[in-house]
Amino acid sequence: MKIGFIGLGNMGAPMAQNLLKAGHDLTVYDLSETALAQLNGAGAKIAQSAVELSSIPGMEVIITMLPASQHVRSVYLNQGGILEVVAKDVLLIDCSTIDPQTAREVAKAALSKGNPMLDAPVSGGTGGAEAGTLTFMVGGAKKDFERAQTILTTMGKNIVYCGDSGNGQVAKVANNMLLGISMVATAEAMSLGVSLGMDPKVLAGIINTSSGRCWSSEIYNPYPGVVENAPASRAYSGGFGVDLMLKDLSLATEAAKFAKQPVILGAVTQQLYQLFSSQGNGKLDFSSIINLQNK
């Protein structure tokens, strides 16, 4: 297929590489010359702007993987954006993590120009992007979801239809809010047990065969040395950064404000991550939040 890809960062670059490996005819655009040169070396064509990429004759699908809502708005809606020039019926897929309202607004604008659009945020991190094992949470019309299947399965393993436009983002923020809360709760329980004299491994073993068990306690325990290959056991390097978790928690609390839905633990967790990030920990793995609570 003839595919355009905009946003070649930590996630976008390996996703684009997987499309190339599958034999697609790929044209890419990013603000970074280095990112463009790398993809060019791997066989992608380069565009000098979003407009140039979007006006390529015969383009079938355009995928975007951008940092946040404002970048998605500008790349799609601003002067010099995709919607200014893209041909009718080209399928637009935004894989960025953004707020559901912006996703719905941009999809509505796209549809009014004759372009179906899907929001398809991912989970699985950079490892999943490289391995082509991402989970895609997809919102939009079912027929457009079906049209996107071949492409999404090239970059991911679980492709889940979440319902109408924006619902992919809804699924993503709800899940990541729960992850943030469960990480803080696990950190609190582990710190309490150890400060009262328990061995952390024994305590984790009990939690993980009891009712306190969750992904944060079992696979990604925040206490150093409990799970050998978790970021906690390598000084909280790699993994999913504090600032990325803070971004997702902030999207959740903003979306909750819009819906007038109380998210009390989500809001407290957002504030804990904001405090921890402001203390200079933004680049550490998000399980390092345990150090906020250590005496």
Residue 126, CA atoms < 13 Å, CB-side half-sphere: 10
- Give the binding range for ligand NAD (CB under 6 A) out of 59-67, 105-113, 147-155, 275-283: 59-67
Distance CA 184, CA 191 (A): 11
Q: Quick one: which segment of 120-128, 144-152, 153-161, 209-217 binds ligand NAD (CB under 6 A)?
A: 120-128
Distance CA 37, CA 14 (A): 14
Query: Could you give the string, one character per residue 236-275, with x where binding to ligand NAD holds by CB under 6 A and - elsewhere?
Result: ----x---x--x----------------------------
Q: Among residue numbers 83 through 112, which ones bind ligand NAD (CB under 6 A)?
A: 96-97
Q: Which of 172, 260, 283, 295 is catalytic?
A: 172
Among 28, 35, 44, 252, binds ligand NAD (CB under 6 A): 35
Q: Please identify, using beta-carbon distances, which residue of 122 and 214 lies nearer to ligand NAD.
A: 122
Q: Could you tell me the two tokens for 246?
A: 């803070």
Residue positions counted in the chain = 295
Q: With CB under 6 A as the contact rule, which of the stretches 6-14, 152-160, 178-186, 197-205 interacts with ligand NAD?
A: 6-14
Q: Please, which residues have CB within 8 angstroms of residue 258's CB and are 6 or more apart in sequence? A: 99, 101
Whether 65 and 6 have beta carbons less than 8 Å apart is answered as yes
Q: How many residues bind ligand NAD (CB under 6 A)?
A: 27
Residue closer to ligand NAD by CB (options 3, 11) is 11
d(CA 123, CA 82): 25
Stretch that binds ligand NAD, among 62-70, 109-117, 203-211, 276-284 (CB under 6 A): 62-70
Q: Tell me the chain's radius of gyration from C-alpha atoms.
A: 20
Q: How many CB atoms lie within 10 A of CB 232?
A: 24
Does 30 sit near ligand NAD (CB under 6 A)?
Answer: yes
Buried b (16+ CB within 10 A) or exposed e, 207-216: bbeeebebeb
Q: Where are the beta strands (DSSP E) in 25-97?
A: 25-29, 45-46, 61-64, 91-94
- Give the residue, chosen from 3, 4, 5, 6, that forms a contact with ligand NAD under the rule CB under 6 A: 6
Kindly list the residues in this chain that would bind ligand NAD in the complex (CB under 6 A). Answer: 6-12, 29-32, 35, 65-67, 71, 74-75, 96-97, 122-123, 125-126, 240, 244, 247
List residues with catalytic annotation. 172
